[in-house]
Amino acid sequence: MAKAIQAVAENDNLDMIFDKNSEVIMLYANPRYDKSSDVIIKLGLKPGVFAK
């Protein structure tokens, strides 16, 4: 199902798809919105390295 959702999003040029049948659940988000690495760098850490 996840691959089908991603395919529809990419084909229709969508950035996000939500499931509206229950509480708001994000089914797909364009990877360009993933700011995890930016936050990790801002914290003075290196992305991809686990903190101890």
pLDDT at 15 (0 to 100): 95
22, pLDDT greater than 80? no
DSSP 31: G
Give bridge partners of residue 51 from the DSSP assignment: none
**Would you call 38 helix, strand, or coil by DSSP?**
helix
Question: Where residue 12 falls among pLDDT bands split at 50, 70, 90?
Answer: very high
Q: Please, are residues 29 and 16 in contact by the beta-carbon 8 Å criterion?
A: yes
CA separation (Å) from 14 to 8, 29, 46, 48?
Answer: 8, 9, 30, 28
The pLDDT tens digits for 26-39 are 899 999 999 989 98
Domain boundaries, the chain: 2-42
